[in-house]
Chains A and B, each alone.
Chain A
Amino acid sequence: MSQSYNRGLIEDFGRWKEFSAGMWAWIFHKFTGWMLIGYLFTHIAVLSSALTGPEAYTNTIQGLESLFIIRVLEVGLLAVAVFHILNGLRLLMVDLGVGLEAQDKSFYASLILTGIIAVASVPTFMDGVTI
């Protein structure tokens, strides 16, 4: 009889060097999706400070924006959102059956484009902040 024992998962992150483009796209899509959900809650929390009055809201926003870490996180948020959008478009093409042979190339393209956009956004997000 066959007997089971744990051979570990092949999608274990210890094997990350062997992952293919499609697998990475899937992992990044899941990861960015969860990040965006997490951001949604903090976004609601910050916005709800307006319930106590306009000054509270302004103070919260100004307080947050003066922090260096928040500016860095904003760049990260943009990168995460852009990747999720671009890979979402790629998945839409896959769902429509368009260009399935080029799915790895479109993944690399969305990664590169995300990088470019994130780097290009740095001057805007980091404007006037001091560490």
Chain B
Amino acid sequence: MSTQQQEPEQPESQEAPEDPEMRGAESPVDEKEKQGGDIDQQTTPESELEEESVLIKVFRYDPEVEGKQEPRFDDFHVPFEKGMTVLDAVMYARDTYDSSLTFRHSCRQAVCGSDAFFVNGKQRLGCKTQIADLSQPIRIEPLPHQEVVKDLVVDMDHFYDQMHTVEPYFQNEETPDASDLEEQRQSRENREKVKMSTRCIWCGACMSSCNIAAGDNEYLGPAAINKAYRFAMDNREPADVKEHRLRILEQEHGVWRCQTQFSCTEVCPKDIPLTEHIQELKREAVKKNLKFW
């Protein structure tokens, strides 16, 4: 375990000065922080400060280590590069300053969905969020409304449970005979209809942003309902399977819990119109139960 918790930037003092002062014209730092520039220029050698740095404040918590059980924020000064993402910054901080900094990440290209963080008060995907777009200092916290295991790692079990509740897999017993090499075709129109809903990467940002899901642990949540939408709207599934899916969704803690705050739609890193899908399933559920003919 690292012993430099308080001042993790100390060994790198040449790269990361006390004041995260920039000289470049495209500096992402606030106007406020630029004011201290004159003093800094006199005290530090010009040549060694070619690159800019960004200040990130990272949430730290480790229940297993004495003295780290109290949640706190650690500051890291990370040299800025063009195109740098939040994930790049925390990876740099981990590799350079403190190897005990813990977070999930894998593909780094917004496909695996493992690095959703609470960045500057909003759920964002670390690998898809540009440092240059954020105001500094950048606050990086674990996803709210989920229990923290360590640092930026949250317990996703509940999220996965809800995802599995809606049976997130294709169901059709009458598959065409494989010997004929026949395929299960989907019409172009139907593919377009479910296209956005198939983009979900199970990152949990929507569930974390949802006010209702926070207060009602049984609520399926936007991601699970979107998953159900993806299959319920797929016309290759027979009608009785769709009815079965709607029966799950129309329960008390299903689609009707949504109060259209649009929080999930706003944070979804894959731009899925979650609220629209939930609303459409509400209408489907009503149509299923209101049949006068």
A residues in contact with B214, CB < 8 Å: 9-11
Min CB distance A86 to B, Å, is 15
> Which residue of A is nearest B118, CB measured?
A10
CB of B238 closer than 8 Å to a CB of A:
no
Q: At the interface, yes or no: A18 with Cβ under 8 Å from chain B?
A: yes
Quick one: CB contact mask for A35-74 with B, threshold 8 Å, 1 for yes? 0000000000000000000000000000000000000000
Question: Do residues B144 and A7 form an inter-chain contact, with CB atoms below 8 A?
Answer: yes
Decide: A94 and B211 in contact? CB cutoff 8 A. Answer: no
Q: State in angstroms the CA–CA spacing of A21 and B276 once bound together.
A: 16
Q: Is the CB of A7 within 8 A of B276?
A: no
In the complex, what distance in Å separates the CA atom of A15 from the CA atom of B273? 25
Which residues on B sit within 8 Å (CB–CB) of A25?
261
A20 at the interface (CB under 8 A from B): yes
- Residues of chain B contacted by A9 (CB below 8 angstroms): 144, 214
A5 to B, closest residue via Cβ: B71
Q: Is the CB of B276 within 8 A of A97?
A: yes
A95 to B256, CA, bound (A): 11
Query: What chain A residues lie within 8 Å of B283 (beta carbons)?
Result: 95-97
List the A side residues contacting B118 at CB < 8 Å.
10
Given contacts A10-B145, A11-B214, A97-B283, contact A22 B276 (CB under 8 A): no
Expressed in whole angstroms, the Cα–Cα distance for A33 and B283 within the complex equals 24
Q: How far is B282's CA from A103's CA once the two chains are assembled, in angstroms?
A: 18
Instruction: Check B149–A94 contact: CB distance below 8 A.
Output: no
- Chain B residues, Cβ within 8 Å of A130: none
* Nearest-Cβ distance from residue A78 to partner chain B, whole angstroms: 25
Give bound CA distance, A22 to B259, whole Å.
10
B211 contact from A5, A11, A95, Cβ within 8 A: A11
A25 vs B263: C-alpha distance when bound (angstroms) = 11
- The answer to whether A20 touches B262 (Cβ under 8 A) is yes
User: Considering only CB atoms, which chain A residue lies closest to B150 in the complex?
Assistant: A2
Q: Interface size of B by Cβ–Cβ distance < 8 Å?
A: 29
Chain B residue nearest to A9 (CB atoms) is B214
Which size class do A's interface residues fall under? 20 to 34
Which B167-218 residues sit within 8 Å CB-CB of chain A?
A: 209, 211, 214
Minimum C-beta distance from B69 to chain A (A): 8
- Interface membership of B63, Cβ < 8 A: yes
A25 to B275, CA, bound (A): 15
Say whether A22 contacts B260, CB under 8 Å.
yes
Interface assignment of A82: CB less than 8 Å from any CB of chain B: no
* Contact in complex: A22, B266 (CB < 8 Å): yes
Q: B49 at interface (Cβ–Cβ under 8 A)?
A: no
Which B residues lie at the A interface, using CB under 8 A?
A: 63, 71, 118, 121-122, 141, 144-145, 147-149, 155, 209, 211, 214, 259-263, 265-266, 273, 275-276, 279-280, 282-283
Binding site for B on A (CB under 8 A): 1-5, 7, 9-11, 15, 18, 20-23, 25-26, 91, 94-97, 100, 103-104
A-B contact pairs, 10 of them (CB 8 A): A10-B121, A10-B209, A11-B214, A18-B122, A20-B266, A22-B261, A22-B262, A22-B266, A97-B279, A100-B279
